[in-house]
Amino acid sequence: MIMIENRWIVRKGTQTLYLLFISGFCSFTLGSPDCHLITMTKTYTEAKTYCREMYTDLATVHNSTDMANLITIVPSTIARAWIGLETGDVWMWHWSWPDQKLDFLKWKVGEPQMKNEDACAAMDQQGEWIESDCGTQRSFVCHGNSDISGLIFVAETKSWRDAQNHCRGLSSYLISIQSAEENEAVHTVSASQNVWIGLFKDSWKWSDGSKTSFRYWKPRQPNNLSGQDCVAAIFRDKGQWNDLKCNGKRFFVCNGEAETANNLMTPNTTDLVSSTPNTELNNATTEMSTVTPTKQPPNTTAQVTTDSVSTLTTLMGTSAQTTTPSSTLKPTENSQSFPTDNLILIQENMTWIEAVGYCREHHIDLVHISSKDIQGKVAETAKNATSLHVWIGLRYTCKFNFWFWTKSTSGCYHNWAPGQGSERKYDCDVTGAIEATGRQQWVGLPETEKLNFICYVCTG
């Protein structure tokens, strides 16, 4: 994740100097390297050389969480920046769900076709796999949650890319198949129709050698035009990726521990969106530093610096219909809010992700509880809730089995209910809530439940 804590703009005459205070890391996972937005313009090759000399390499985006962090944190004034994806010489098949092994194959005789071009895989009526043009319209199967047998069949026909985006909108992925039993289950749920599965072929590779298959292309990209062998994230376009000619000079993102902190540069203003007058501060100065997160032991409430809102959710394509844009998430006229100091209870039931979006759109963030004093204020505020529990800014990672606040919070305070927190292991997509009544302790609940929630508010 890249976190830009503050941005100052100093303008003298016609020259604009952007000074960025940057700290953060590429992913919320423990032990991941620092990630740095470099505000100088370089060609892709120059940027890669710089990153390898000053840090480790150009940034790799491993999953939807990493991408959501970039979209959430990088300011809209940054038009585009190089990331570490480039064309390679080998065309490979990947599952769209990152880090899934390609151990099981069920190709039809004569498949796949040995062509050096982008392609996607479908399951035919006999349950065998065929290579297909990714633009073909088909039904498809997404991974589901455990309460729906792990599969979601979508009868509506879409291109492979639109099907992928639809699954991402469900906080899921197009199905990846790891065994004959799973293949038969997909064949059964598809009612013997030709359906998309999550297998695709391309020649893109990551500069640092990572094998992650995560892709986040703009519509109709990559267009694979001659010389467009390097990739930039287009932050004016929701951070979606575009293949571009490598000799273009752009900002870029490095990962790894910094060799030096001297990264304050005067950017080329052609790579910036114009700033509004209220962002201009005369004679402003700022100091840049890099903060490396401290590794936390497992089964604790980890204080990890992150804005990972899982998949935010539609990092994720225009076809996703599972969430409402945060700008439209407003309490109804009949709902009430109860401010207590710098806290406000929103008496409107939303999912955890919707609540995060609402708080960040209209206030600061979901509340974080780092002390007994704050717990007392939150508990008092929660008493007015119309739901049995109230969302707080706490999230669980099932991969590493620990809890973390959505932004860094100092202190080690916790107030888990018996049997909750570090005492148990949860399913994925679980987030934190406080009991509205009783002992008002913390519990883990599925993020899709709809509850009241408490936001931090600006007090002046």
Give the pLDDT confidence of 288-311 residue by residue, as tens digits: 222 223 233 333 333 333 333 333
Mean pLDDT to the nearest integer, 238-251: 94
Does 35 or 180 have the greater pLDDT score? Answer: 180
Give the pLDDT confidence of 37-59 residue by residue, as tens digits: 888 999 999 999 999 998 889 99
Give the pLDDT confidence of 411-449 residue by residue, as tens digits: 456 788 888 887 677 888 788 899 888 888 999 999 899
pTM > 0.85: yes or no: no
Q: Characterise 192 by phi-psi region: left (phi > 0), alpha (psi -120 to 50), beta (else).
A: left
Whether 126 shows a pLDDT value over 80: the answer reads yes
Q: Which tokens hold the place of 242?
A: 């575009």
Looking at residue 335, its pLDDT comes to: 41
* Domain residue extents for the chain: 2-85+211-279, 100-203, 301-456
Query: Mean pLDDT, the chain, as a whole number?
Result: 74
CATH topology of domain 2-85+211-279: Mannose-Binding Protein A; Chain A (3.10.100)
Looking at residue 137, its pLDDT comes to: 97
CATH topology of domain 301-456: Mannose-Binding Protein A; Chain A (3.10.100)
Lowest mean pLDDT among 58-67, 120-129, 160-169, 334-343: 334-343
Whether 353 shows a pLDDT value over 70: the answer reads yes
Does 7 or 73 have the greater pLDDT score? Answer: 73
Does 173 or 294 have the greater pLDDT score? Answer: 173
Mean pLDDT to the nearest integer, 338-353: 83
